[in-house]
Amino acid sequence: MVNSAYWRGKRVLITGHTGFKGAWLSMWLLSLGADVIGYALQPPTKPSLFHLCGLDKDMQSTFADIRDLERLRQVVADTDPTIIFHMAAQPIVRNSYKHPVDTYEVNVMGTVNLLEAVRLAAAGGKSSIQAVINVTTDKCYENREWAWGYRENDSLGGFDPYSNSKACSELVTSAYRNSFFQSETGISIATARAGNVIGGGDWAEDRLIPDCIRAYLSKNVMSIRNPAAIRPWQHVLEPLGGYLLLAEHMVQNTGKYGGSWNFGPQDADVQSVEWVVQRLGTKLGNHDFYEIEPATNQVKHPHEANLLKLDCSKSSSYLNWHPRWPLDTALARIAEWLLAFKEQRDIRTVCLEQVEAYMA
CATH number at residue 190: 3.40.50.720
- Check pLDDT > 80 for residue 108: yes
- Check pLDDT > 70 for residue 305: no
- Check pLDDT > 50 for residue 344: yes
- Check pLDDT > 50 for residue 61: yes
- Check pLDDT > 60 for residue 299: no
Domain that holds residue 88: 4-359
Q: Compute the C-alpha angle 311/177/120, nearest 5°.
A: 140
- Check pLDDT > 70 for residue 296: no
Number of structural domains, the chain?
1
pLDDT at 303: 64
What average pLDDT does the structure give for the chain?
94
pLDDT at 306: 63
Residues 6+ apart with CB under 8 A from 272: 227, 228, 229, 230, 231
- Check pLDDT > 60 for residue 80: yes
Phi, psi (rounded to 5 degrees) for 272: -80, 160
Inter-CA distances, 97 with 93, 164, 177, 264, Å: 7, 12, 30, 26
Tens digits of per-residue pLDDT, 30-50? Answer: 999 999 999 999 999 999 999
**Mean pLDDT calculated for residue range 266-295:** 92
Phi, psi (rounded to 5 degrees) for 237: -70, -25
- Check pLDDT > 60 for residue 209: yes
Q: How far apart are CA 154 and CA 81, in angstroms?
A: 32
**Mean pLDDT calculated for residue range 223-234:** 88
Residue type at 44? P
- Check pLDDT > 80 for residue 184: no
